[in-house]
Amino acid sequence: MDRRLGGLVLLILACLSLLVVPNLRGRPLAGSATAVYLPPAPRVGQCVTALSPVPQGDSREIDPMVEYPDATYGPCRGYVVGEVMSVQAASLPAPRVPLSRYEEASSECELAEVNYVGSIGPFDLTDPNVPSIAWQAAVTIASIPVGPNRLQQGIGQTWTACVGATSDNTRYTGRIADALTRGVLPPTFATCWGAVPAATRLRSDSSVRPCAAPHTAEILATTQITDPLATDEDVQRTCRKFAARAMRTADPTGGGAITIAAYSMDGTSVMPLAEVELTAGYLGCLATVTPPRQLIGTLIGLGDHAVPIIPG
């Protein structure tokens, strides 16, 4: 081989080695590493700032397969949509489950609601002579089972949690933790009406309004009478005593500013007890003020605070 040709070949090979050998070790990439936040399992008492849609039934399919919703957790300051009432660390929801199984999980979450939110005793234990009249607080909290999101499932998290939220995903301030025992119930979870007209007692759905807005009536509790020995006075007396327990005060009338009374409620009207059969339908224990005065907020858990009345 010609010496000059051989030198040229060696030069070409040397140049190729400069290009190929570094690439055998991997080509460096521009940029910097970024840590990915892996959210841990939620804790009881943690607040929820967002919820994915809750599974609903589909009339076109019997017991359809659904996914557990997931939640975004954040600080309890300001507005939230719910709170973590319980966490079960040992169970993992399947990616998709029958709707009936999800609804069973929702019913199981209601037990967590009692432990987290508390309860108001339905009976007057100090008066054993009163027939069994059990008042149920008119507080509406949706118990929603949630699970890990896709990222959390991908890193092996195995838990389900029960979230207490409003029925329509409305945001609220305050806390529902122990709200029925020693806390203050956020008004969003109470039940209020704009008015109960004195003449006809008629009530329409349009009269239902948020308790955070001015109103003249709050439903404290409901009951159904099954004891034929119960009298109107029994119902009224137990209603007043329930109001005292719910408001945590010896005087639920606030010195006469509020009227506490039981009425018959059949879904379309509110009638005085004297005009109906006690065992026919639901009865409500109502707290009302006379217009132009109005209430604002809920009376449940009022305690020693001033009665929230707007003079009008």
pLDDT band at 157 (very low <50, low <70, confident <90, very high): confident
pLDDT band at 302 (very low <50, low <70, confident <90, very high): very high
Chain-centre distance of CA 265, in angstroms?
Answer: 25
Kind of pairing, strands 208-209 and 65-66?
unpaired
Give percent of the chain above pLDDT 90: 56
Q: Is the pLDDT of residue 200 over 50?
A: no
Instruction: Give the model confidence (pLDDT) of 212-229 as tens digits.
Output: 999 999 999 999 998 888
Asked if residue 299 is part of any domain, the answer here is: yes
Chain-centre distance of CA 306, in angstroms?
Answer: 27
Helix (H) or strand (E) holding 89: none
Can you tell me the mean pLDDT for 188-195? 90
pTM here is 0.81
Owning domain of residue 236: 190-310
Same domain, 238 and 146: no
DSSP state of 59: T
CA distance 82 to 141: 9
Q: What pLDDT sits at residue 106?
A: 92
In order of 12, 15, 16, the CA distances from 20 in angstroms are 12, 9, 6
pLDDT band at 77 (very low <50, low <70, confident <90, very high): very high
Same domain, 208 and 155: no
Asked if residue 110 is part of any domain, the answer here is: yes
Can you tell me the mean pLDDT for 192-215? 72
CA distance 179 to 208: 22
Asked if residue 249 is part of any domain, the answer here is: yes
Reduce the DSSP state of residue 261 to 3 states and report it. Answer: strand
Same domain, 196 and 159: no
CA distance 79 to 146: 20
pLDDT band at 242 (very low <50, low <70, confident <90, very high): very high
Same domain, 159 and 237: no
**Which of 165, 200, 221 is at the close of a domain?**
165
Same domain, 108 and 161: yes
Same domain, 194 and 302: yes
In order of 9, 52, 135, 283, 290, the CA distances from 262 in angstroms are 106, 39, 11, 7, 16
Q: Which residue bears the tokens 């109005």?
A: 294
CA distance 45 to 40: 15
Can you tell me the mean pLDDT for 88-99? 76
State how many domains the chain has: 2
Q: What pLDDT sits at residue 81?
A: 97
Asked if residue 157 is part of any domain, the answer here is: yes
Which candidate, 90, 89, 84, 91, places its Cα nearest to that of 70? 84
Give percent of the chain above pLDDT 70: 80
Asked if residue 34 is part of any domain, the answer here is: no
Contact between 262 and 284 (Cβ < 8 Å): yes
Contact between 274 and 303 (Cβ < 8 Å): no
Contact between 168 and 188 (Cβ < 8 Å): no
Q: Is the pLDDT of residue 174 over 90?
A: yes
Same domain, 234 and 155: no
Same domain, 51 and 159: yes
Same domain, 195 and 148: no
Asked if residue 28 is part of any domain, the answer here is: no
Phi-psi group of 201: left, alpha or beta (phi > 0 → left; psi -120 to 50 → alpha; rest → beta): left
CA distance 199 to 202: 8
Token pair in block for residue 193:
């009406």
Asked if residue 4 is part of any domain, the answer here is: no
Q: Which residue bears the tokens 């841990």?
A: 40
Q: Which of 31-45, 70-84, 95-109, 188-202 has the highest mean pLDDT?
A: 70-84
Q: Is the pLDDT of residue 37 over 60?
A: yes
Asked if residue 129 is part of any domain, the answer here is: no
Selected residue with higher pLDDT from 277 and 171: 171
Same domain, 219 and 252: yes
Q: What pLDDT sits at residue 13?
A: 52
Which candidate, 244, 56, 46, 30, places its Cα nearest to that of 135? 244
Same domain, 116 and 203: no
Selected residue with higher pLDDT from 163 and 19: 163
DSSP state of 115: H
Q: What pLDDT sits at residue 218?
A: 95
Q: Is the pLDDT of residue 295 over 60?
A: yes
Same domain, 231 and 266: yes
Reduce the DSSP state of residue 214 to 3 states and report it. Answer: coil
Can you tell me the mean pLDDT for 34-41? 75
The mean pLDDT value of the chain amounts to 84
